Chain A
Amino acid sequence: MTMEPCSSPLLSIKGVKAFYGPVAALKGISLHVDEGEIVTLIGANGAGKSTLMMTIFGRPQASEGRILFGGTDITQRPTHEIARAGLAQVPEGRRIFPRMTVFENLQMGALNGKSSFAQDLDCVTALFPWLGTRAQQRAGTLSGGEQQMLAIGRALMSRPRLLLLDEPSLGLAPLIVKQIFEVLKRLNRDEGLTVFLVEQNAYHALKLADRAYVMVNGEISHAGTGRELLARDDIRAAYLGSA
């Protein structure tokens, strides 16, 4: 893969619209994620955050607008090809394969035919050592936090250039959330992994992120650095529950 000039963002979304049947879920979204950044997208339930994550992967496909990854147009590509282009997603609700073992879930993450499996597995088990020792456990019997870590580990097995996470903190104990956010921070700092994070847990997300977008009813309402948005009273009132 050739390097793009620094000026072109790793992921750029330009005027994307998407529909669920007759309902417009995305009404012209434009945003970008640069290489090496942590970008977060916050917004209320039903704002269209998860739809945007899935639209990046072509499910549903954008009816208007363009999605570019590393300068290549991926808007019309089938989902499995997008996954092979260097994006990985930790979807809403984790979606681990419950009737497979932990190890098989990680194998699913490694795009088959990849020669670096052992190496990638070492990297992932270095992040979450228990994944190595409990490799033969059925994933459906893991706790929620463990499933979330497995979902992240599975996504990392493909050595993505961009990791998309959809509400990784949902339903997890604060301590686990902290642990997961620390892992993301470390991956970004040490491995240079680019992260695009969708969160309702706005405080943690804004603190972690280099830049942030706020989504309301299928549109981007605010954009700025995490610090800027954290400082705004209207954002604090709407998403942090404190004035």
Chain B
Amino acid sequence: MEIFLQQLINGLTLGAIYGLIAIGYTMVFGVIGMVNFAHGDVFMLSSFIALIIFLLLTQILGLASIPLALVIVLVAAMALTGLWNFMIERLAYRRLRASFRLAPLISSIGMSIFLSNFVALAQGPRNKAVPSMLDEVFKLTEGHGYDVTLSLKQILIIAVTASLLFGLWYVVEKTPLGRAQRACEQDQTMAALLGVNVDRTVSATFVIGAVLAAAAGVLYMLYYGVVNPNDGFIAGVKAFTAAVLGGIGSLPGAVLGGLLIGLVETFWAAYFSSDYKDVAAFGVLAVTLIFLPRGLLGRADVEKV
């Protein structure tokens, strides 16, 4: 029971990170029907940006307060990564949107290779260690031979994820930008006929996706204490799996899929073997898609006409 509880906590933490990345896949797919394969690398990029800013603040500028430094890191990483993805969309995808369907997708694979190699060249291909910080751990149960713990980092991850999801929900459901995004998702031509600037809405979608992936990158750096230029690939594939599992195009689906993938992976590693945890995650996807081809919360395409 204690082990179960512990793995539940660990799984949800990991799942929160996957969920934040998965939103970027699902939003872009929803609005322009494209799978952005560079999204995982955007996440990786943000973890490097976060580490660089953190070191800059604490080591060079001598900022003593870690919490303050982390707040600045989070905000700055979100802003810079958003800017990066804005430029990526302008440079690599926008012109290709009018082309055949696979063109932007292939371009995004190229962008993925470029980003991971760019970071590997600029920062070195090896793991970069993150200074240890916020190491407080709280014991939830004690004395049964196995202590269930909840670390400060885990609390932070859940809290940051929850507040960002609330913010996202607000933007998508309650603001003109979110309405324009949903309109573009349902009928781009009609949205344009009503005065929506489709290009700008697509840009905003990429920026929002990147901002959430950036938060995931910061949390990831903090949680695992190490960053690597290849981290984007596997995290990206997992988050994409989460998006498809939840039903691509569905925002709640992306979060649900992320949590499920995180949990499956963690439990599999704890009870069976950590070697095959990725197989377990992808296996769940395969089985789900056999019975629910649109994913867990994907909607039927049938609309009344």
B contact residues, total (Cβ < 8 Å): 21
Bound Cα distance from A59 to B194, whole angstroms: 13
B182 in the interface, Cβ–Cβ < 8 Å? yes
- What sequence of 0s and 1s flags, for each residue 93-120 of chain A, a beta carbon within 8 Å of any chain B beta carbon? 1010111100010011101110000000
A154 to B190: give the CA distance in the assembly, Å: 11
Partner of A98, one of B191, B194, B198, B304: B304
Knowing A80-B197, A141-B304 touch, does A95 contact B187 (C-beta < 8 A)?
yes
How far is the CB of A126 from the nearest CB of chain B, in Å? 21
Question: Are the C-beta atoms of B193 and A79 separated by less than 8 Å?
Answer: yes
How many angstroms between the C-alpha atoms of A154 and B195 in the bound complex? 12
Q: Return the CB mask of A56-69 against B: 1 if under 8 Å, else 0.
A: 01010000000000
A84 to B183, CA, bound (A): 17
A113–B197 CA distance with the chains assembled, in angstroms: 13
A223: CB under 8 A from chain B? Answer: no
Q: Which residues of chain B are within 8 angstroms of A95 by Cβ–Cβ distance?
A: 187, 189-190, 193
Question: For residue B189, which residue of chain A has the nearest CB?
Answer: A59
CA distance A223 to B257 in the complex (A): 60
Q: When A100-B182, A140-B303, A141-B304 are in contact, do A80 and B187 touch as well, CB less than 8 Å?
A: no
Within 8 A of A (CB), among B269-305: 299, 303-305
A12 in contact (CB, < 8 A): no
- Whether B179 lies near A79 (C-beta < 8 A) is no
Contacts of A130-184 to chain B: CB distance below 8 A: 140-142, 144, 154, 158
Q: Which residues of A contact B127 (CB under 8 A)?
A: none
Shortest CB–CB separation between residue A75 and chain B, in angstroms?
A: 16
- Tell me if B216 is interfacial: C-beta within 8 Å of chain A: no
User: Is the Cβ of B193 less than 8 Å from the Cβ of A84?
Assistant: no
A9 vs B234: C-alpha distance in the bound complex, in angstroms? Answer: 61
Knowing A80-B197, A154-B194, say if A100 contacts B189 (CB, 8 Å). no
Known contacts A104-B179, A108-B179, A140-B303, A83 near B187 by CB under 8 Å: no
User: Is A48 located at the chain interface by the 8 A CB criterion?
Assistant: no
Tally of chain A residues near chain B (CB < 8 A): 29
> Does residue A200 face the partner (Cβ distance < 8 Å to B)?
no
* A80 x B192 contact (CB < 8 A): yes
Task: List chain B residues, Cβ under 8 A from A97.
Answer: 182-183, 186-187, 190
Answer yes or no: A43 CB below 8 A from chain B CBs.
no
A70 within 8 A of B: no
A40 within 8 A of B: no
A226 interface residue (CB < 8 Å to B): no
A93 to B191, CA, bound (A): 14
**CA of A192 to CA of B151 in the docked complex: distance in angstroms?**
68
A109 x B182 contact (CB < 8 A): no
Most buried by A among B195, B303, B304: B195
Contact A83 B182 (CB under 8 A): no
- What's the Cα separation between A110 and B187 when bound, in Å? 17
Please encode chain B, from 39 to 80, with 1 for each CB lying within 8 Å of some chain A CB and 0 for all others: 000000000000000000000000000000000000000000
Known A80-B198, A140-B304; judge A100-B186 contact (CB<8 A): yes
B124 at the binding interface (Cβ < 8 Å): no
Query: Of A79, A109, A142, which is in contact with the most chain B CB atoms at under 10 Å from its CB?
Result: A79
B186–A80 CB distance below 8 A: no
Complex CA gap A142/B304 in Å reads: 8
Q: Is A89 an interface residue (CB 8 A)?
A: yes
Given contacts A100-B182, A140-B303, contact A108 B194 (CB under 8 A): yes
Interface status of B131 (Cβ within 8 A of chain A): no
* Given A99-B186, A104-B179: A89 and B195 interface contact (C-beta under 8 Å): no
Which residues on A are within 8 Å of B, measured CB to CB? Answer: 57, 59, 78-80, 83-84, 88-89, 91, 93, 95, 97-100, 104, 107-109, 111-113, 140-142, 144, 154, 158
List chain B positions with a Cβ less than 8 A from chain A: 176, 179-180, 182-183, 186-187, 189-198, 299, 303-305
Kindly list the 10 A-B residue pairs having the minimum CB-CB distance in the complex, ordered from nearest. Answer: A83-B195, A112-B176, A79-B192, A95-B190, A98-B303, A111-B195, A84-B195, A97-B186, A80-B197, A140-B303
18 pairs across A/B with beta carbons < 8 Å?
A57-B192, A79-B189, A79-B193, A88-B194, A91-B190, A95-B189, A95-B190, A97-B182, A98-B304, A107-B176, A107-B179, A109-B194, A111-B194, A112-B180, A112-B195, A142-B304, A144-B305, A158-B195
Q: In the complex, given contacts A98-B303, A100-B182, A108-B191, what are 15 additional A-B residue pairs having Cβ atoms less than 8 angstroms apart?
A: A57-B192, A80-B192, A80-B195, A80-B197, A93-B305, A95-B187, A95-B190, A97-B190, A104-B179, A104-B182, A108-B183, A108-B196, A111-B194, A112-B179, A113-B176
